[in-house]
Amino acid sequence: MSMKDLFNSKKMLFINIALVCLIIGFFIGIVTLSCSTKITSNGVAFAQDESKSLEGLEALESIQYSFRKVAEKVLPVVVEINVVDIVTQDSPGFNSPWEFFFGPDKKDDGEKQPKQREYRQQGLGSGVIVKQTGNQVFVLTNNHVVGDAEEIKIKLYEGKEYTAKLVGKDERKDLALIVFEESNKVPVADLGDSDVVSVGDWALAIGNPLGYSYTVTAGIISAIGRHGGPGENISDFIQTDAAINPGNSGGALVNIRGQVVGINTWIASTTGVYSGYGFAIPINNATKSIDDFIKFGKVEYGWLGVQITDPVDEVLAGLDLTGIEGSFVSQVFKNSPADKSGVMPGDFIVKVNEINIKDTDHLLRIIADIPGGQTSDFNIIRMGDRITLKVKLGIRPEEKNIAAQNKNLWPGMSVVPLSKEIKEKLEIDSGTTGVIIAYILDDTPASIAGFQDYDVITKINTTDIKNLKDFYKSLNDTKKKDLDFYFKRKGVDLKIGLVR
């Protein structure tokens, strides 16, 4: 075969294509190497050049600038609060040298009462300026900051001092409002929306911890919807790791925009000082309280007139409520808004005015913020059926007045299924059926009639009680006013009658 024929052959065509690919690959390699990171003689490659480092520094400076602007915005709206309480204590003094050596004289009517002496006890806290109306400047703080103070002094960030007076206070949310007078305009806090706060958000706490005035600490929102704290606070607290210490109470928790999203209230600590967990009342829980304090001198809460609880799993299962969120009605006050609207013991409240109820604490907050006299829709599960009741709420009475109404709390007992485990533990005959009383509330119809914990209810009127549904169906039979309860106590059959 001639050379000409060889180059024109198919075999040579493939060889030519391969050579062209090699040449192209060679040039691509040269271009790639010329554009890549420079390799030094000692084999070290730099992953980032100086310009990249400067970009990172500028980003950090941007965050620093944001914190600085927040501090500049919020510090003027936070105040230092100094209070003086008058505390009465027994005096250790002696009336005579005789008493010093031999003790107090004794008379026929008993020992002499020790002398008492009044002491001035000082306290320190923080507050947030939330409103100015004319010459009146209103400061929101914690109830435990002002307490029963005889004197309240306020110091502004700029140094001016004022005498303040109490407008109103509320133990249920641990909030208080105080007022001082200033004819000139003062900075007022920008109140944010605590409902949009999320875990991981930046947070700054501003206050007067341990006497160090106008301290700013930074952290993040660690958690939301926390319960607990001192007393019986109904707030769903915001948790933060921004350092909070004694003296921070009543101060501001703010977001990265300088908006107040919470009022710092308490810390979780075994030593009394910060250990990583601080808690603030969401500002949305306080906005209605501010208006109520100014208008009424106190906070007005909605009143349903029930005792509600998060039931144990056995109760949920017995009423086919497993996996459903809501709050369980265990007792109802007679003639209360709930009673007049048809709410009954054993009802499970799952929604109020299109708001899905998560648990009992959530329902408490929802009811609390509904004005008395307003009619609301309560969506309820009763014996497996969903019903909606129109409920016109009242105004919640004082706590001492609520306790005095226990005689009207129906029925005054809470029951649970009579399980195999309970029978074995309490040595109840295995063939016994019914429900068992878990606890009795003092001064209620059930208590006054003589029911006791662990009584096993086996029948109401003519209906045998085999489970929770039987119990609540018979209990809520409005056609019958007189109810005869048949039950066993320590193996003895007994009967008690109650009038609805």
Pair (228, 245) in one structural domain: yes
Q: Give per-residue pLDDT as tens, 133-189.
A: 999 999 999 999 999 999 999 999 999 999 999 999 999 999 999 999 999 999 999
pLDDT greater than 50 at residue 36: no
Pair (286, 201) in one structural domain: yes
- Taking residues 269-275, what's their average pLDDT? 82
Pair (279, 329) in one structural domain: no
The residue with greater pLDDT, 50 or 434, is: 434
Pair (216, 245) in one structural domain: yes
Q: How far apart are CA 264 and CA 239, in angstroms?
A: 10
Q: How far apart are CA 61 and CA 64, in angstroms?
A: 5
pLDDT of 35? 38
Pair (277, 367) in one structural domain: no
Domain count, the chain: 4
Q: What is the CATH number of the domain that holds 306?
A: 2.30.42.10
Among the candidates 363, 387, 407, a domain finishes at 407
pLDDT greater than 60 at residue 43: no
Among the candidates 296, 330, 347, a domain finishes at 296
Q: Judge whether 499 and 481 are in contact, CB under 8 Å.
A: yes
Q: Give per-residue pLDDT as tens, 409-463.
A: 999 999 999 999 999 999 999 999 999 999 999 999 999 999 999 999 999 999 9
* Residue 33 pLDDT level (bands cut at 50, 70, 90): very low
Q: How far apart are CA 346 and CA 331, in angstroms?
A: 8
Question: What percent of the chain is modeled with pLDDT above 70?
Answer: 83
Q: What is the CATH number of the domain that holds 283?
A: 2.40.10.10
The residue with greater pLDDT, 36 or 248, is: 248
Among the candidates 267, 296, 325, a domain finishes at 296
Residue 56 falls inside a structural domain? no
Q: Judge whether 434 and 458 are in contact, CB under 8 Å.
A: yes
Residue 21 falls inside a structural domain? no
Catalytic machinery residues: 144, 174, 249
Picking from 11-20, 80-89, 267-276, 367-376, which range would have the lowest pLDDT averaged per residue?
A: 11-20
Residue 483 falls inside a structural domain? yes
Domain membership of residue 158 as a residue range: 76-89+119-181
* Residue 273 pLDDT level (bands cut at 50, 70, 90): confident
Pair (428, 401) in one structural domain: no
Pair (325, 422) in one structural domain: no
Q: How far apart are CA 74 and CA 126, in angstroms?
A: 13
Instruction: Judge if the upstream peptide bond of residue 411 is cis by omega within 30 degrees of 0.
Output: yes
The residue with greater pLDDT, 55 or 139, is: 139
Pair (403, 419) in one structural domain: no
pLDDT greater than 80 at residue 347: yes
Pair (277, 217) in one structural domain: yes
Pair (80, 167) in one structural domain: yes
Pair (173, 232) in one structural domain: no
Q: How far apart are CA 475 and CA 300, in angstroms?
A: 33
Residue 256 falls inside a structural domain? yes
Residue 10 falls inside a structural domain? no
Residue 201 falls inside a structural domain? yes
Pair (80, 172) in one structural domain: yes
235 Cα distance to chain centroid: 3
Which region, left, alpha or beta, applies to residue 30 given φ > 0 means left and ψ of -120 to 50 means alpha? alpha
Q: Give per-residue pLDDT as tens, 88-127.
A: 666 555 455 545 445 555 544 445 555 666 667 788 999 9
Residue 125 falls inside a structural domain? yes
Q: Which of 83, 77, 81, 264 is nearest to 158 (CA)?
A: 77
Question: What percent of the chain is modeled with pLDDT above 90?
Answer: 73
Residue 144 falls inside a structural domain? yes
